Amino acid sequence: MTRAKPKLILVHEPEKACLDRLVANGHARERAAEIASYLAQSTDLAPEFDALADACLKRGLSFAAVELDDAAGVLAGEHPATTLVWTLTDGIAYFRGSAAPTLARLGGFRTIGADDALFALCQDKFRSGAVLGALGLPVPPAGLARNGEWLVEPPASTAGWFVKPNRLGAKIGIWPDSRSLDLDHALELSRRVFSAYGDDVIVQPYVAGRNVRASFLGVAPGTGAEALGVAFVDSGGDFQTMADSLALYGETGEAAKAAGNYVQPELVPVAESQPAADARIRTIAARLMEGLGLRDVFSFDLRVEADDAVHLIEFEVCPGLPCFDFRDYCRSQWGLELADAMAETAASRLF
């Protein structure tokens, strides 16, 4: 009997499928479109599926891009010994991507990425923050509010607080006033978030510093924190808002490029100016890999102060692969364009 050709299956949840489902479930169309925009990596990567297929073919693999709603049926027809599943999106609330690695585990398929339990944990920022704190990592403590009521009161803070959705791309503040100088305003923000998106908010002490993105792709098995890419992400603002996010990715980002209004944030290696902070971030990455179970592909966001103090904000098991920062990481760390980096990673697991 002929052995099946090794195959990479990339499971992705399209923006439109999410938008239609959210509207059907009662979300206002404009708010549903904002929520679905977090799946823009599916939109942005789709034009490169042919390039991915070619890159896989050069390495002896076949490739299939599979929409999330079709994943169960497709996997039922594949052989676990020769099939690798790579999930492009997480999600337990607005998105459903965490179902894909669970389906893969149920079918006995190998996967790229963390254990499926982390696909659910990472999107709940209050719970994930508690786990990160228990691991001794420098995550700001947090309160939790729902529609103007405290579920957990936040810690005191002389610098004010930062308010963000708990399960919706929660590294960002939705609005420019997401930094709050009093807790009454924080509760008002929680009412606005609940009204618009139906989500709780976490309320953390505001931490100063520059925004940092740490990116990881283990092109070769056994790759450790030495392969981490650590860069300041300078966009000109203190923090990213929903409007900022919409302007960078998906259809809105493409429209901004077409109109000449697209401004890509500047990436600057942290090690160039703050080597001590870079070393601390790599230690955090090693702890995340050992203690939390991150592997293969992930990212995390931090704030770094001028004195090298480091604050871990969140981790992602499904980093935005087609985003400018991850592409830059693949080039600078591995000397590969995105499609080749993904194909090389898959081939190293299948052969």
Q: Would you say residue 258 has pLDDT above 80?
A: no
Q: Would you say residue 253 has pLDDT above 60?
A: no
Q: What is the pLDDT of residue 174?
A: 77
Q: In CATH, which of 3.50.50.60, 3.40.50.720, 3.30.470.20, 3.90.930.12 is domain 210-350?
A: 3.30.470.20
Cα–Cα distance, 203 to 209 (Å, whole number): 18
Greatest alpha-carbon span in the chain: 70
Q: Would you say residue 4 has pLDDT above 90?
A: no
Spans of all domains in the chain = 7-113, 141-205, 210-350
**What DSSP element (H or E) covers 52?**
helix 49-58
Q: Would you say residue 276 has pLDDT above 90?
A: yes
pLDDT digit string (tens) for 296-313? 999 999 999 999 999 999
Angle subtended at Cα 244 by Cα 242 and Cα 250, rounded to the nearest 5 degrees: 85
pLDDT grade for 255, boundaries at 50, 70 and 90: low
Q: What is the pLDDT of residue 149?
A: 98
Count of all residues that appear for the chain in the document: 351
Share of the chain above pLDDT 90, in %: 83
Q: Would you say residue 106 has pLDDT above 70?
A: yes
Averaged pLDDT score across all residues of the chain: 92
Centroid of chain to Cα 2 = 39
Going by the DSSP 8-state scheme, the letter that residue 262 receives in this structure is -
Q: Which residue has the tokens 């925009």?
A: 37
- Record the pTM: 0.92
Residue type, 279: A
Cα–Cα distance, 215 to 206 (Å, whole number): 24
Going by C-alpha positions, the residue among 114, 84, 108, 119 that lies closest to residue 348 is 84
**What DSSP element (H or E) covers 162?**
strand 161-165
pLDDT grade for 235, boundaries at 50, 70 and 90: confident
pLDDT mean over 236-251? 65
pLDDT digit string (tens) for 141-165? 999 999 999 999 999 999 999 999 9
Cα–Cα distance, 173 to 123 (Å, whole number): 15
